[in-house]
């Protein structure tokens, strides 16, 4: 590697040539309480065109099972998930199971782990879910997940150690589809150099995103026609918050409550109580709180943008519904930081030896319109080759003016906020000029996508692979 920022050990191979390799879950209602067994609806997922009504406006889009979000899929750790994708879209598609330590062939990475399923085709996703936690699924073809092709995946722990009375799954999204054309139209209009200079956020260290979206949603609902989560005063409730947006980080708070964060991207962490957190695209936090009596705003501000996703948590019939335009003071109080987060002792990865460190920059091509990993874009993706069984330290340096939520398929890595530890995550936000260390244990052989979860960046080159365990078989593209 002839790049000054690249420091690659003897056992790591970074190539400029991308040689790619090529118990049924219960599907239930979105917000049902954890104790109520959701009625089995089978295990078929139909991807197809449909319409959603947002604030009285009927918009054409693509969804799973005519629902927004797609059906909540409940599985149990250690068990097998079987989902048959039926593609009734006019385009090829795949389903990616974000955050699951999955077998490579089931990962839904187009051109890498599977050929996209053509219109009229089906694909059987069959895999075991090793770890409990909060995950989600989405199409991994082009800009499709910026339509309605996403849903929550909740993996239950048969020996759940966390005590709570009820749980709610909260899926956040930024919505443009059908308003001014499709997400693909938006992507074509946009080059890497174009972003709205007004969209800046101190919390994200610079430019927050590329565009203001016309709508921000909680479980498919706008702020004006909010979703209501019903509970009772004194209930200890677990919230599973998922950011399924394409270009929007959300700052989340529950009015009148503090939040005890219990899980980072599905994995348990030492409990930390805060007032608010910022959730990048692809990230999830679980938190528990004991509800007061009344009706409370669950607010998710589109960070650095003007707009908000909003829902209501109600424990009393009579209480007045909070306004989506109201202020939630918790949003500006104690904010969760990565430094506050620490995986459980049992989940801490061993310190890797020096020889398996790789360093690279998150960049933009000078004068061009491509985001890159160390200069490698879509034409020439960064390819990291490591050895099975190793723990690899990846050091990323953000040399751009935007933050990037970097996501690795097939693994949950340890963010090294200190030498001693940090949280386990599969998606980590890296701010401009920030340096981030993550440790990955190479225990799931395959060729894995490693990319920015800003969908525009992903589509404009900020995508590479991490591979080990078997030699590459053939060369083809990653579905750009
Ligand atoms: Cu949710 Cu490759 O991503
Ligand atoms: Cu990015």
Domain boundaries, the chain: 5-161, 167-340, 345-468
Ligand nearest to the CA of 405: 2
Atom of ligand 1 nearest to the CA of 98: 1
Ligand 1 neighbours, Cβ below 6 Å, are 96, 98, 138, 140, 282, 407, 409, 449, 451, 453
Q: How far is the CA of 410 from the centre of ligand 1 (A)?
A: 10
Q: How far is the CA of 330 from the centre of ligand 1 (A)?
A: 30
Tell me the CA end-to-end span of the chain in Å, nearest whole number: 24
For domain 167-340, the CATH class is: mainly beta
Rounded Cα–Cα distance for residues 338 and 418 (Å): 10
Q: How far is the CA of 260 from the centre of ligand 2 (A)?
A: 28
Atom of ligand 1 nearest to the CA of 427: 1
How many Cβ atoms from other residues are within 10 Å of residue 77's Cβ? 16
Q: How far is the CA of 50 from the centre of ligand 2 (A)?
A: 30
CATH 2.60.40.420 is held by the domain 345-468: yes
Q: Are strands 250-254 and 215-218 parallel, antiparallel or unpaired?
A: unpaired
Q: How far is the CA of 154 from the centre of ligand 1 (A)?
A: 16
Residues lining ion ligand 2 (Cβ < 5 A) are: 404, 452, 454, 457
Name the residue with the closest Cα to ligand 1, atom 1. 98
Name the residue with the closest Cα to ligand 1, atom 3. 98
Ligand nearest to the CA of 141: 1
| CA 264 to chain centroid | 11
Ligand nearest to the CA of 455: 2
Say whether 167-340 and 5-161 share the same fold.
Answer: yes
Q: Are 138 and 95 in contact (CB under 8 A)?
A: yes
For domain 5-161, the CATH class is: mainly beta
Which residues, at least 6 apart from 103, have a Cβ–Cβ distance to it below 8 Å? 127, 128, 446
Q: Are strands 259-264 and 357-364 parallel, antiparallel or unpaired?
A: unpaired
Q: Which helix (H) or strand (E) holds 164?
A: none
Ligand nearest to the CA of 373: 2
Q: Are 417 and 423 in contact (CB under 8 A)?
A: yes
Burial of 367 (0-12, 13-18, 19+ CB in 10 A): exposed
Q: How far is the CA of 100 from the centre of ligand 1 (A)?
A: 10
Averaged over successive runs of 10 residues, the pLDDT of the chain (480 residues) comes to 32 29 39 33 85 97 97 95 96 98 97 96 96 98 98 96 97 96 89 70 95 97 98 98 98 98 98 98 98 98 96 96 96 98 92 80 87 94 92 95 97 92 97 96 96 96 92 46
Q: Are 70 and 63 in contact (CB under 8 A)?
A: yes
pLDDT at 192: 58
């Amino acid at each position: 590697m002839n790049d000054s920022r690249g420091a690659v050990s003897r056992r790591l191979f970074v190539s400029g040539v991308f040689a790619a390799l090529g118990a049924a879950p219960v599907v239930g209602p979105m917000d049902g309480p954890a104790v109520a067994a959701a009625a089995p609806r089978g295990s078929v997922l139909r991807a197809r065109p449909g319409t959603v009504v947002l604030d009285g406006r009927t918009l054409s889009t693509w969804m799973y099972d005519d629902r927004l979000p797609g059906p909540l899929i409940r599985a149990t750790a250690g068990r097998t998930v079987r989902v048959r994708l039926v593609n009734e879209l006019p385009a090829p598609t795949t389903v990616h199971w974000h955050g699951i330590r999955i077998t490579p062939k089931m990962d839904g990475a187009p051109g890498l782990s599977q050929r996209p399923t053509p219109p009229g085709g089906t694909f059987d996703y069959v895999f075991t879910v090793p770890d409990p936690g909060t995950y989600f699924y989405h199409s991994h073809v082009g800009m499709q997940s910026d339509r309605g092709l996403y849903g929550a995946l909740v993996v239950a722990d048969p020996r759940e150690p966390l005590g709570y009375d009820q749980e709610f799954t909260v899926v956040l999204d930024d919505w443009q589809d059908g308003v001014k054309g499709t997400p693909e139209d938006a992507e074509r209009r946009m080059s890497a150099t174009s972003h709205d200079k007004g969209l800046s956020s101190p919390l994200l260290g610079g430019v927050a995103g590329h565009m203001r979206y016309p709508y921000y949603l909680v479980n498919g609902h706008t702020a004006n026609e909010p979703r209501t989560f019903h509970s009772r005063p004194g209930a200890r409730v677990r919230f599973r918050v998922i950011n399924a947006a394409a270009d929007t980080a959300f700052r989340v708070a529950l009015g009148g409550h503090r939040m005890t964060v219990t899980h980072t991207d599905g994995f348990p962490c030492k409990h930390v109580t805060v007032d608010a957190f910022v959730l990048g695209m692809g990230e999830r936090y679980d938190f528990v709180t004991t509800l007061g009596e009344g009706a409370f705003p669950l607010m998710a501000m589109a960070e650095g943008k003007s707009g908000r996703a909003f829902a209501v948590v109600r424990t009393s019939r009579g209480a007045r519904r909070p306004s989506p335009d109201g202020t939630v003071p918790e949003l500006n109080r104690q904010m969760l930081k990565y430094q506050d987060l620490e995986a459980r002792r049992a989940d801490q990865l061993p310190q890797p030896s020096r020889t398996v460190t790789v360093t690279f920059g998150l960049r933009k091509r000078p004068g061009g319109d491509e985001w890159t990993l160390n200069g490698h874009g879509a034409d020439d993706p960064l390819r990291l080759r490591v050895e099975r069984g190793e723990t690899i330290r990846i050091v990323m340096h953000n040399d751009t003016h935007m933050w990037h939520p970097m996501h690795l398929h097939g693994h949950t890595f340890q963010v090294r906020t200190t030498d001693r530890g940090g949280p386990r995550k599969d998606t980590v936000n890296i701010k401009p000029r920030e340096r981030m260390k993550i440790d990955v244990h190479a225990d799931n052989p395959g060729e894995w996508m490693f990319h920015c979860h800003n969908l525009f960046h992903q589509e404009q080159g900020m995508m590479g692979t991490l591979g080990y365990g078997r030699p590459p078989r053939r060369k083809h593209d990653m579905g750009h």
